[in-house]
């Protein structure tokens, strides 16, 4: 299947060629034809699957078929966060570069006047977060009565963030007859209810099974006491020579503290979260993308929808409270076919959060004990371990017995040894990962050659773990 075969306009095809896209991703191949046919579509796709182009390309194509002289919004794309709105708007502009269509982005946290001026100048496509869009509607600075196509992007997150009432208010301002496209990474009963109320005879398109992690992401769990997470993260980044790492923390304060700590350790880092101004967040993202900042520490909401090409490493410094957030987080890496690594630092307090994540993923995530960080006492000095940990861990290995299987389905033809590990290098002896692990020999998985300058704090076999990059 090629983009030409999908029937897209030549102007769009040349924009895609310039962007270097050769073939449509599965969600694009499935969603573009019914959207071009005018159907409502319910798309099950995580970020990283190419879903933005899946709705943006046919949307641009269709808008060119209807009257575009008037410059009143004929397409409305709603997103849960400012970052996602900005990115979708960027995509609209990129794909529509050869078309006489105008788009504008509307979100809170910045002045309303420039947005009003842009709307006054005339727009065909509005990409907006619900709250600020309603502010404009209330001030009558935008007229939504000509909207022909509505897109709800990351609808599950919009519901999580409590936007349901705002969405309903916006829907009431739109023409009754229109095309509706709803994209969501998960299909909860709440999403189905929302979809039932909006979509008419929708075509269901789905590329990734519900709630599964992107196939190209390798996931690892590293048990570590919470007081030593910072130190372990620093080691992973420096010894592993990780160049671009997105680190998730549960709180804004946690994101700030971690960024400060890493900067003191000469690892350039910035925090992004809801308390930062939009400009600060945009600047941080730009510096991170440009490689000036090595680590971005972020809360879930701030990082939602971030599009960073080929982001190699995602770290769950704290596990998320909601299992679906784990899927969203690791969706930041392994995007559009590139391999990525998602690492979770698990203290005793995170263990109750890990099980629901594994249930959602329908697999166990491989765990690895790290010399110097691995003992049950270190993870939990009060020894309040969940029963299975102490029972299964004959060796004192807190996570013994778990995580022997890979957490991600292998791509066909790929073996463990051919896949990258957290180092980006091949595993030497993948088969041994099924063996129980002992505390002093932290992993049954043989490692790539050691980095002699990097030694664990205590115990273990120095080179074995730290050679892993
Ligand atoms: P999305 O899921 O929309 O956030 O897209 C994820 C990433 O995939 C973005 O960086 C896109 O630029 C990229 N992408 C989207 N479609 C394609 C394609 N057909 N070929 C290659 N890369 C793509």
> What distances in angstroms separate CA 7 from CA 3, 14, 36, 270, one per listed residue?
7, 13, 8, 43
Residues 6+ apart with CB under 8 A from 424: 312, 339, 341, 469
> Is 129 a pocket residue for ligand 1 (Cβ < 6 Å)?
no
Span 97-110, average pLDDT: 95
Position 307 pLDDT exceeds 70: no
So what's the pLDDT on residue 377?
53
Measured between alpha carbons, how far is 185 from 44 in angstroms, rounded to an integer? Answer: 5
- Average pLDDT value over all residues in the chain: 77
- DSSP strand E in 3-143: where? 41-44, 75-78, 103-106, 125-128
pTM of the predicted protein model = 0.56
> Is 334 a pocket residue for ligand 1 (Cβ < 6 Å)?
no
pLDDT band at 166 (very low <50, low <70, confident <90, very high): very high
Span 71-79, average pLDDT: 95
Digit-coded pLDDT (tens) for 341-393: 899 999 888 888 998 888 888 778 888 888 777 655 545 444 443 333 322 22
So what's the pLDDT on residue 211?
40
Higher pLDDT, 443 or 167: 167
DSSP 78-104: E-SSHHHHHHHHHHHHHHTTTSS--EE
So what's the pLDDT on residue 306?
65
> Is 21 a pocket residue for ligand 1 (Cβ < 6 Å)?
yes
pLDDT band at 161 (very low <50, low <70, confident <90, very high): confident
Pocket test for ligand 1, best of 12, 157, 336 (most atoms within 8 A of CB): 336
Give the distance (Å) from ligand 1 centre to CA of residue 50. Answer: 4
Could you tell me if 317 and 258 are in contact, meaning their C-beta atoms sit under 8 angstroms apart?
A: yes
The domain 217-466 having CATH identifier 3.40.50.300: the answer here is yes
Position 462 pLDDT exceeds 80: no
Digit-coded pLDDT (tens) for 199-250: 999 999 987 543 445 556 788 899 998 889 999 999 999 988 898 999 999 8
Consecutive H or E run containing 172: helix 164-172
Span 19-27, average pLDDT: 90
Show me where the domains of the chain are located: 4-206, 217-466
Residue 314, helix vs strand vs coil: strand
Consecutive H or E run containing 61: helix 51-65
If one looks up domain 4-206 in CATH, what number appears?
Answer: 3.40.50.300
What is the residue with the minimal CA distance to atom 16 of ligand 1?
50
Measured between alpha carbons, how far is 197 from 314 in angstroms, rounded to an integer? Answer: 36
| Strands laid side by side in the 340-346 sheet | 217-223, 340-346, 313-316, 245-248, 295-298, 269-272
What is the residue with the minimal CA distance to atom 20 of ligand 1?
21
Measured between alpha carbons, how far is 85 from 130 in angstroms, rounded to an integer? Answer: 10
257-261, 362-366, 407-411: least confidently modelled range: 407-411
Digit-coded pLDDT (tens) for 31-49: 999 999 999 999 988 777 8
> Is 96 a pocket residue for ligand 1 (Cβ < 6 Å)?
no
> Is 382 a pocket residue for ligand 1 (Cβ < 6 Å)?
no
> Is 335 a pocket residue for ligand 1 (Cβ < 6 Å)?
yes
> Are 4-206 and 217-466 in the same CATH fold?
yes
Using the Cα atoms of residue 103, residue 108, residue 114 and residue 119 in order, give the sign of their dihedral: positive
pLDDT band at 7 (very low <50, low <70, confident <90, very high): very high
Higher pLDDT, 28 or 449: 28
Span 58-81, average pLDDT: 91
Beta bridge partners of 340: 217
What is the residue with the minimal CA distance to atom 6 of ligand 1?
48
Position 427 pLDDT exceeds 50: no
> What distances in angstroms separate CA 434 from CA 139, 357, 416, 429, one per listed residue?
62, 21, 12, 10
Position 403 pLDDT exceeds 50: no
């Amino acid at each position: 299947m090629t983009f030409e075969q999908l029937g897209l306009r030549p102007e769009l095809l040349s924009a895609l060629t310039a962007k270097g896209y050769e073939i449509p991703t599965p969600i694009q191949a499935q969603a573009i034809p019914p959207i071009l046919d005018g159907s409502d579509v319910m798309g099950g796709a995580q970020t990283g699957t190419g879903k933005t182009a899946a709705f943006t390309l046919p949307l641009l194509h269709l808008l060119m078929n209807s009257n575009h002289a008037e410059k009143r919004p004929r397409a409305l794309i709603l997103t849960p966060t400012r970052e996602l709105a900005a990115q979708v708007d960027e995509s609209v502009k990129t794909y529509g570069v050869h078309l006489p269509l105008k788009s504008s982005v509307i979100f809170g946290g910045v002045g309303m006047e420039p947005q009003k001026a842009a709307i006054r100048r005339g727009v065909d496509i509005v990409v907006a977060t619900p709250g600020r869009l309603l502010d404009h509607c209330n001030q009558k600075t935008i007229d939504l009565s000509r909207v022909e196509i509505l897109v709800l992007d990351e609808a599950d997150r919009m519901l999580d963030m409590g936007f349901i009432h705002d969405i309903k208010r916006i829907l009431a301002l739109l023409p009754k007859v229109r095309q509706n496209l709803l994209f969501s990474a998960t299909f909860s009963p709440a999403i189905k209810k929302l979809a039932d109320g909006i979509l008419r005879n929708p075509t269901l398109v789905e590329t990734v099974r519900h709630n599964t992690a992107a196939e190209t992401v390798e996931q690892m769990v590293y048990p570590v006491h919470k007081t030593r997470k910072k130190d372990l993260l620093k080691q992973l980044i420096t010894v592993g020579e990780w160049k671009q790492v997105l680190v998730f923390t549960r709180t804004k304060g946690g994101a700030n503290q971690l960024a400060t700590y890493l900067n003191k350790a000469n690892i350039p880092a910035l925090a992004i979260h809801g308390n930062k101004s939009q400009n600060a967040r945009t600047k941080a993202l730009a510096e991170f993308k440009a490689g000036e900042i090595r680590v971005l520490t972020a809360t879930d909401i701030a990082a939602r929808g971030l599009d960073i090409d080929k982001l190699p490493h995602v770290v769950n410094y704290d596990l998320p409270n909601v299992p679906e957030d784990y899927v969203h987080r690791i969706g930041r890496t392994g995007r559009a076919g590139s391999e990525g690594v998602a690492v979770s630092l698990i203290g005793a307090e995170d263990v109750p959060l890990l099980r629901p994540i594994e249930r959602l993923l329908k697999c166990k995530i491989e765990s690895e004990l790290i010399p110097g960080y691995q003992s049950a006492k270190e993870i939990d000095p009060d020894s309040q371990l969940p029963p299975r940990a102490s029972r299964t861990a004959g060796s004192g290995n807190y996570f013994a017995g778990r995580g022997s299987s890979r957490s991600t389905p292998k791509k066909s033809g790929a073996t463990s040894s051919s896949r990258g590990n957290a180092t980006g290098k091949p595993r030497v002896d993948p088969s041994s990962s099924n063996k129980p692990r002992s505390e002093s020999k932290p992993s049954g998985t043989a490692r790539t050659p050691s980095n002699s300058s990097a030694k664990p704090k205590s115990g273990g076999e120095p080179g074995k773990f730290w050679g892993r990059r």
